[in-house]
Amino acid sequence: MKTIMVTGGRGMLGHAVEQVVGEEPRAGSRFEFVDIEEGDLTDKVATRALFERVRPHGVIHLAADVGGLYKNVAQGVEMFENNLLMNMHVMQCCREFGVEKLVSCLSTCVFPEQTLCPHITLPIDETVVHMGPPHPSNEGYAYAKRMVDVQSRYYRRQYGRNFISLAPTNIFGPHDNYSPEHSHVIPALIRKCDEAMRGGTDFVVWGSGKPLRQFVYSPDLARLFLWAFFHYDEADPLILAPGPEQEVSIGQIAQHVANAFGYAKPIVFDTNYSDGQHRRTVTNQKLMSRYPEFRFTPLAEAIKASVAWFQANRTTARL
């Protein structure tokens, strides 16, 4: 029986992996979901103690200090340092404890910002990770996450470890973080539209609503992570996102959320707030060439399910 440890086990993606693992039990593998209570990965001693206890054969490393645009702007130091520390400690312990496979995360926000890098054309693919500076709004997080690619490749080359890195686009789904200052856009809009419906107030979207994003529903991403754990063994990162044709504006996302709640008043856009990165269109050609049969949940359906989860779990959701 092989133990696969999932860090960040009580986060949004951790919950989604647990849900998906339950869908199709895998003979010979048992999953152990751990979170900060079992060991603070920014602390090397605590990280070693966790590996000592669990003795994993595989690790799916989801734990990270994450947040939306406004948290990244406010806490660049912590986003840089906490993620560097967690990723370094996990990789060091994976080598020390002989872990056979490690899956770590980048993000599509790590790629070069096209307006600063005229040589970069959209849609972006996995080959350009280090070919220019990321968008200033999340530079700290982006550089920390870029080191996941560097460190994974070094461990492969120098120690022969099967470490891989995956680059999800913006994630949303049940068990998200809904805090006003720190959350990503979709959970923020879900919380705000819920408050507007219950308080009879306006549904206010920050910024112009014009920026464009590709979004991935957390259960879909969990299936992709599990597929990659068992079937993707290449050195280079793999983008996990719906295709460029699925790119939507923040305004369109807000309308999906409003439709899911039945909010019928006008949506208000508060342009006193910054828009952040305008677009970061990525291609999923490499993923589709490796896993052509995979299908993403339609966005409107995924948002409706995420809204329904929040309405049913409002009192216990991470606010």
Residues that bind ligand GFB (CB under 6 A): 68-70, 72, 107, 109, 138, 141, 170, 183-185, 188, 205-207, 211, 213, 250, 273, 275-277
Closest approach of ligand GFB to the CB of residue 184, in Å: 3
Q: Per the structure block, which two tokens stand in for 214?
A: 């590709």
Q: Per the structure block, which two tokens stand in for 152?
A: 């994974």
Strand, coil or helix: what is 39?
A: coil
Residue closer to ligand GFB, measured from CB, 271 or 313: 271
Closest approach of ligand GFB to the CB of residue 288, in Å: 20
193, 314 Cβ separation under 8 angstroms = no
Nearest to 103 by CA among 265, 225, 249: 225
Strand, coil or helix: what is 248?
A: strand
Residue closer to ligand GFB, measured from CB, 184 or 286: 184
Paired with 19 in beta bridges are none
Closest approach of ligand GFB to the CB of residue 63, in Å: 15
Nearest to 39 by CA among 84, 75, 80, 93: 93
**Residue 141 is a catalytic residue:** yes
Residue closer to ligand GFB, measured from CB, 4 or 257: 257
Closest approach of ligand GFB to the CB of residue 185, in Å: 3
Residue closer to ligand GFB, measured from CB, 157 or 210: 210
Q: Active site residue: 141, 155, 178, 217, which one? A: 141
Q: Per the structure block, which two tokens stand in for 58?
A: 């595989």
Q: Per the structure block, which two tokens stand in for 307?
A: 């809204």
Distance of CA 174 to the CA centre of its chain: 13
Q: Which residues are catalytic?
A: 141
